[in-house]
Amino acid sequence: MSRNMIAETRHMSRHSVSEVFAIADRIGIKYADVRNLDDTEV
């Protein structure tokens, strides 16, 4: 799913989505680390 699609489906700005990705990259969180977690765990 693209960042634009994430922003649309989550009702967030594209900037906010990009910021979350940047933070995750900076602290080393990968998709595999969170893919099986529900929204409250993430």
For residue 19, what pLDDT is reported? 97
Token pair in block for residue 8: 């649309």
In tens digits, what is the pLDDT along the chain, a chain of 42 residues? 899 999 999 999 999 999 999 999 999 999 999 999 998 988
Residue type, 26: R
Q: Where are the domains of the chain?
A: 3-34
- State if pTM tops 0.85: no
Query: On the CB side of 6, how many CA atoms lie within 13 Å of its CA?
Result: 11
What does the alpha-carbon distance between residue 3 and residue 6 come to, in Å, rounded to a whole number? Answer: 5
Q: Quick check: 17 and 6 in contact, CB under 8 A? A: yes
